Amino acid sequence: MHQSTPAAVDLVAEARSRGLAAYSETCPHYLTLDDSVYGSAFPEWYACCPPMRSAETVAALKDRLAAGAIHTIASDHSCYDLSQKRERTDDIRAMPHGLPGVETRMPVAFTAMMDSASGGEGRVEDFVEVFAAGPARINAVPGKGTIAAGFDADLVIFDPAEERTVDGGALHMGTDFSPFEGRTLTGWPAVVVSAGRIVVDRDGFHDPGPVGRFVARNGFREHQAATADSTPTVPATL
């Protein structure tokens, strides 16, 4: 989890070459931020574990992603606010570690993978794979990760051309900052459908009430075999 160096990804790739069921996961901040952020006016914004790496390491990690060696991108969302982080600015070891990132996961990952100005030249299908389809399959979650008959109607429709500049104070996470403050990102969600209900659109959030249900995972190997035998044509989130 949270691999931040190409060497870590290469170790997983080597294990896979020996037939092990091993997968690599990274986070949006390891694909877009480097250790120069610790010299900024607000270094506490970026206190996380693993820490940010050099620009060269970030570039090499993106190369592994483009080559298909990274299988999922997760947010590693930790919703500390600045008052909590600044309680221990005297000692980085005691400062709460973690970044808020669940709301920005889609546009940060999409920009990193697709925007040539940000060094990305990927395919939208690859983005969908690491963002939605792959995580559902790897984690053996039935009914998720694919647009096909019999799967849950949980869909995100996003605009690949929409640009927004991140304003941490305008986001909906329970914190007061974003490590991506001031960055212009593309690929923001426009419509969210949960269990067939539109819960987010241009008019805002439409609360369906407490309609969630527990979804048990399948056995890992049984799920892998079942998904390998199926032939869905469209991955989720596309």
CA angle 118, 176, 211 (to 5 degrees): 90
Q: Is this prediction's pTM over 0.85?
A: yes
- Segment 74-100 shows an average pLDDT of 89
Q: Report the amino acid identity of residue 11.
A: L
Torsion, Cα 81 84 86 88, to 10 degrees, reads -150
Per domain, the residue ranges of the chain are 6-235
* Tens-digit pLDDT profile for residues 137-154: 998 888 998 899 999 999
Is 3.20.20.140 the CATH number for 6-235? yes
Catalytic (active-site) positions: 76
The C-alpha atoms of residue 179 and residue 91 are separated, in whole angstroms, by: 20
Whole-angstrom distance, CA of residue 124 vs CA of residue 156: 14
- CA-CA distance, 66 to 73, in Å (whole number)? 12
Q: How confident is the model at residue 228 (pLDDT cuts 50, 70, 90)?
A: low
